[in-house]
């Protein structure tokens, strides 16, 4: 068997939060790297959702089960509690209907994991003070052609999670060098959250 390359630190952390042998739904799964890693190293049963043709083909090449669909259409294909964990990695900021997708994640799985660029990163603030929208590794697009329409800080997401009754279980933050544990709200460029659905929290 061909060895799967080491995944990014944020994906490795996501993988560490997923129970071996569980059922996983990966929304905006890209080329299927995370699901392939999970299948090999944690023996999960996984399904990906992706809209891009080339990425869907890449998933198939990795042996990943993938459904081609626009996430904005919702997750009506999936039943309540059909999965143990649903993942939305670095896609939340590009969604038009942020609250809807989070509610749908909580509906179809016992736990959800989301990651997104941290707009509170200190260099972003400096860029705005200098009169320019920030461009960085996590936000690589110019303001006029960016797919990122709902940028937020760590506190913004945590407040929204509370409003939606999502029980935040764990948080990890990263920059280009690895995990950030000191002053993450200002020093990290990427945030990863694990949360329990309201239904799961109520039955725990």
**Per-residue pLDDT tens digits for 19-70:** 999 999 999 999 999 999 999 999 999 999 999 999 999 999 999 999 999 9
Residue 143 has a pLDDT of 66
* Residue 28, φ and ψ in degrees, nearest 5: 65, 50
Quote the CA–CA distance of 13 and 40 in Å, as a whole number: 16
- Reading the block at residue 167, the tokens are 């029980």
The tens digit of pLDDT for each residue in 108-133 reads 999 999 999 999 888 877 887 788 77
Token reading at 110: 């016992």
List pLDDT tens digits, range 23-34.
Answer: 999 999 999 999
157 closest CA partner among 115, 201, 126: 115
Handedness of CA 156, 160, 166, 167 (dihedral sign): positive
Q: In what order do the strands lie in the sheet with 83-89?
A: 66-68, 45-50, 23-27, 83-89, 109-117, 190-196, 167-175, 178-179
Q: Hey, what CATH topology would domain 9-117+154-181+190-203 get?
A: Rossmann fold (3.40.50)
The answer to whether 183 and 169 are in contact (CB under 8 A) is no
Residue 110 pLDDT: 97
Percent of the chain with pLDDT over 90: 72
Gap between the Cα atoms of 47 and 137, Å rounded: 28
Comparison of pLDDT for 146 and 201, the residue scoring more: 146
Using a pLDDT cut of 70, give the percent of the chain over it: 90
Q: From CA 64, how far away is CA 111, in angstroms rounded?
A: 21
Residue 115: how many other CB atoms lie within 10 Å: 24
- Domain limits, the chain: 9-117+154-181+190-203
Mean pLDDT of the 166-176 span: 96
- Closest alpha carbon to 103 in 132, 150, 71, 135: 71
> What's the DSSP call for residue 72?
G
Predicted pLDDT at 134: 65
d(CA 177, CA 24): 28
Local structure of 75: helix, strand or coil:
coil
């Amino acid at each position: 068997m061909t060895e799967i390359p080491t995944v990014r630190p944020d994906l490795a952390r996501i993988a560490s939060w997923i129970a071996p042998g569980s059922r996983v739904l990966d929304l905006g799964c890209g080329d299927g790297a995370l699901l392939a890693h999970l299948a090999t190293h944690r023996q999960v049963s996984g399904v990906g959702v992706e809209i891009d043709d080339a990425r869907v083909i890449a998933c198939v090449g990795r042996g990943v089960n993938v459904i081609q669909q626009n996430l904005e259409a919702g997750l009506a294909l999936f039943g309540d509690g059909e999965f143990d964990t649903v993942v939305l990695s670095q896609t939340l900021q590009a969604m038009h209907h942020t609250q809807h997708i989070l509610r749908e994640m909580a509906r179809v799985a016992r736990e959800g994991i989301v990651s997104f660029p941290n707009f509170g990163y200190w260099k972003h603030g400096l860029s705005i003070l200098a009169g320019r929208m920030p461009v960085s590794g996590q936000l690589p697009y110019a303001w006029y052609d960016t797919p990122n329409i709902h940028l937020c800080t760590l506190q913004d997401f945590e407040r929204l999670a509370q409003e939606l009754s999502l029980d935040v279980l764990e948080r990890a933050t990263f920059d280009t060098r690895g995990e950030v544990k000191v002053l993450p709200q200002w020093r990290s460029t990427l945030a990863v959250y694990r949360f329990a659905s309201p239904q799961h929290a109520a039955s725990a």
